[in-house]
Structure formats: structure tokens, C-alpha cells
Structure 1
Amino acid sequence: MPIPAHPRTTSDQFTHRFSATRRGARLARLLVLQQLDHWGFPYRSDPSDLVAAIVAELAANAVTHGRVPGRDFEVRLTRSVTALRVEVADTRTEERPPAGETPAAPPSDSETGRGLLLVAGLAARWGVAERQGPGKTIWAEIDLTCGGT
């Protein structure tokens, strides 16, 4: 089902830093949902649900795998006419997923390792980018159709 584009023609951005804790990851998802609603994507709409799931997975990964004691993670949400882009940056450089590739599935008895598979399945595009300072940024985009709501 196509997702209608927001009627504005500009790009908007929301950026916030969060503590690298489970509470920080939850707060990131909630604040992104609030920002989406402010931009005209109501809670429980298709874009809201997709972005919430992506933020939840990427923030959980930042807290679980990208955590460096004493350092926060950052979430950036960018809205353009054609897409919503989520970026989650952490400060750990050792663990870097392969950019743009479909992540390998974990063993069937594994209780972890499916987060990036989920992100790859939900997003139109995703990848890994360098960031200023130590660490990495994992990003994902969902497409919005043109034509407004």
C-alpha cells in the first residue's frame, strides 16, 4: 500500500541525543512518534508505525551493541517530500554491519540477531555511514508517494 507524501515541499529535521540505556531507546521511539505527529503523520498511520519499528530496532542496537560507557547515541529524523529517513549514531567503531547488504540470518535457535533483518525488510533503503568523531551511523529510509494526502 503506498504511503501518501506529506504536502510540504521542504525538508525538516529532528535531532536528539539519548542516554545509551533501554530507557533512552524507548524515549527515542516515543519522541520520534511525537515529531512525526507534529509533521502530520498521525500515531498509528503507516509511516508512523514503520518509522517507530525502525527506530526501536536501531536504538536497541545502539544501546546493546554500540554502547560505550558515558557516551550517548543520537537519533536524527529527516522528512522530505519523498521519504522519511532515520539515522541512529553510536560511538562504537568495532561493530559495523555490512552497508546495504541483507544481513545474514542468525541460527534458528538464536534469541538475537534479527534487528537489522527487520530494518532491511521494513525500509526501502538502509546502510551504514561514517560520522564525525568515533562510531558509525546506521540509516534507513521509507518512501512516501507523491501527490499529498
Structure 2
Amino acid sequence: MKSEIAAQAATPPSSAPLLPPARIRLSSSHRGARLARLLVGQQLDEWGIPQTTGTASAVLAVVAELAANAVTHGRSPGRDFEVRLALTDVCVRVEVVDTRPDRVPQAPAPAPVGPVVDESTGGRGLLLVAGYADRWGWAVRDAYTKTVWAEVDR
């Protein structure tokens, strides 16, 4: 794993954004989560980070996991989630804002060594985020939302 979960305090981007950040508001559905990944891929292309690069692949994997978590665990009926994307000279920062500040992420357990005996199909998303991101964490900034963020170095 590249990093452990950061403290709950909001963490600013590693450096100032090079371009205006992108914001995408999507429905809290599985279709919205899939669309988040597609739209982030388009934004990375527009910023000159082709989807074939390692940076883009890592960012897209992080977006897929965080968006899936937002619609699965952070959903409130009738409320959308938001994906924010910022490009700095150091990294690509992803923020996913959902509507369940009461459900905060738990640091993933270290990956087991040896064969996996647990056949469950869930519960490994944040382990993937920790593996792909160079830094990640979460913050509750108000009574209505929670932000889970991740940074992938360029």
C-alpha cells in the first residue's frame, strides 16, 4: 500500500491547481457511478493525461471505487453525489462528496499474505484506493456532506 488513511481533518491539495477544477454532480445510482468514471476519463484527456497512462489508470480506479462507495454507502434518497477533480503540478486530486457524513470510512486492514479464504465480493474498495493513491483521507465539513479525497502523483 502506498499510504494509510490520513487524519479526518481536511487536507488541501499538494499544490495550487494548474487549471480550474472540474465538478461533476451525478445521481446517486450505479449508473451515476459508472458515468463518473467515464466523465473523469474525458476530463483527464482534455487536460493532456491520456487514459493509457499509469496516472490516468490509477485516477480512474480511484474514481470508480469512491463513486461506488458514494452510491452504496453514502446515499440519501433524492440527493446526488459530486466528483471534484483538480490538476496540480504534483498530482491529480479526486474528491467525492456524498450525503452521509455519519458514515465515515474506516482504514482498510492490511492485505492478507497468502491465499484468500474470504469469498465475499465487497469490502475491499478502500484497500484499492490506498493501493492506487499516494495520499487519501476524508473530511466532514458540514452537517450534510462528507468528502473522501485521494491524490495520485503525476
Pairwise TM-score range, normalised by the shorter structure: 0.7 to 0.9
AA aligned opposite 2:153: D
> What amino acid does structure 2 have at the position aligned with 1:85?
R
Query: In structure 1, what residue type is equivalent to 2:148?
Result: I
Aligned Cα root-mean-square deviation (Å):
1.8
Unaligned runs of 5+ in 2: 1-16, 112-116
Q: Are 2:109 and 1:104 aligned?
A: yes
Q: Distance in 2 between matches of 1:83 and 1:129?
A: 19
Per the TM alignment, residue 46 of structure 1 is displaced from its structure 2 partner at its CA by 1.2
CA distance in 2, matches of 1:73, 1:131: 15
Moved more, 60-69 or 41-50: 41-50
* 2:126 pairs with 1:116: yes
The 1:105–1:65 alpha-carbon spacing in structure 2 relative to 1, beyond 3 Å, is farther
Q: Secondary structure at the match of 1:12?
A: coil
Q: Whose relative contact order is higher, 1 or 2, with alpha carbons under 8 Å and at least 6 apart? A: 2
Aligned to 1:30: 38
Percent pairwise identity: 56
Letter in 2 for 1:104: A
**Aligned residue pairs: how many?**
133
Alignment partner of 2:29 out of 21, 25, 36: 21
Corresponding residue of 1:58: 66
Runs of 4+ in 1 over 6 A off after TM superposition: none
The separation in 2 between residues aligned to 1:65 and 1:55, in whole angstroms, is: 15
Cα pair 2:79 2:99 within 8 Å, conserved: yes
Instruction: Determine the C-alpha separation between the residues in 2 that align with 1:70 and 1:131.
Output: 21
Deviations 1:45-98 (A, max 9, x none): 111111110000000000001110000000000000001000001001221014
Secondary structure at the residue paired with 2:151?
Answer: strand
Return the alpha-carbon distance in structure 1 between the equivalents of residues 110 and 18 of structure 2. Answer: 38
Distance 1:11 1:143 in 2: 16
TM-score w.r.t. structure 2 length?
A: 0.80
Query: Does 1:89 pair with 2:97?
Result: yes
| Gapped regions of structure 1 (runs ≥ 5) | 1-8, 145-149
Name the SS for the 1:139 alignment partner. Answer: strand
- Equivalent pair of 1:22/1:63 in contact (CA under 8 Å): yes
Q: Does 2:84 align with 1:79? A: no
